[in-house]
Amino acid sequence: MNKYHLLLLLGINLLIISCKKESSNNSNTVAAVTYLNAAYGTDAQQQMDVYLPAGRTADATKVMILVHGGAWVSGDKADFRSFIDTLKKRLPAYALFNINYRLSAFPANVFPTQELDVKKAVEYIYNKRNEYLISDNFSFIGASAGAHLGLLHAYKYASPVKIKAVIDFFGPTDLEDLYNHPGLIPQSIIDTIVGASLASNTELYRQSSPINFVTNVAACPTIILQGSNDLLVNPLRQSAALRDKLLLNSVPVQYVEYAGKGHGDNWYSDTYLDAFNKIQAFLTQYNP
């Protein structure tokens, strides 16, 4: 075999090895996976949709938990599905978990059922992190009652994982104050949702209020997105109170008020575009 043939054979072998390595590397790339209606409990409402990104790792892939609204008595994770593609594009480093929870239906599933379901969902996700290839960096995004539940969990519980950030779309923050200043929801309805009047179980109202758990240690960076014409649960008062207490405790908070917008109604594409721009910037700053 002459020198030319030897060099040619060596080049072919190196090419084959290189191709094998490239093929091997490609085969090891983690593919995106979606699990719909994954059960985190035994009740039919204790389900979540799981969206795991491609190329995820247990070190770098963060977790975003979505919690729908509906005054704790209605709504479904389907309410957030129209935002999934937007969140995937804007937050490619996040795995998304869109959860349902048991809805209050007096006398069944009254408070703190919803709080405990969110806690159970967090524990389920945390315990699956090795299987899912996700990190222990968890955040929340919630709307209305879902924002209340995300805020409550984030500020109240440090186990099994401390929440890094909360995105709050017009969520109630102080149920005791809400009862005394109910907006368009009468006290009698609040009684049936919570399962007790304020007078009969003041402690339940206090334990169910995110604002009562704000400290410079317990709370986490929070962005509040609020319409100025939101009258449903008097959330302007609620959101402002949370903002002020977070500031008082030196917790990073961004308060965004949209003029003329209601409780999720008349939030058109331009409003959501601005909101998601601000959310993306907020997370880049406080959960990079």
d(CA 114, CA 109) in angstroms, rounded, equals: 8
Domains recognised in the chain with CATH numbers: 33-286 (3.40.50.1820)
pLDDT of residue 234: 66
Q: Which residues pair with 14 in a beta bridge?
A: none
Half-sphere exposure (Cβ direction) of 95: Cα atoms closer than 13 Å = 35
246 CB burial (10 A radius; 0-12, 13-18, 19+): buried
Q: What is the mean pLDDT of residues 15-24?
A: 40
Q: Are the CB atoms for 106 and 195 separated by under 8 Å? A: yes
Whether pLDDT at 233 is above 90:
no
Q: What is the pTM of this model?
A: 0.90
pLDDT tens digits for range 48-94: 999 999 999 999 999 999 999 999 999 999 999 999 999 999 999 99
Backbone angles phi and psi of 96, in degrees to 5: -110, 135
pLDDT at 165: 98
Helix (H) or strand (E) holding 270: helix 269-286
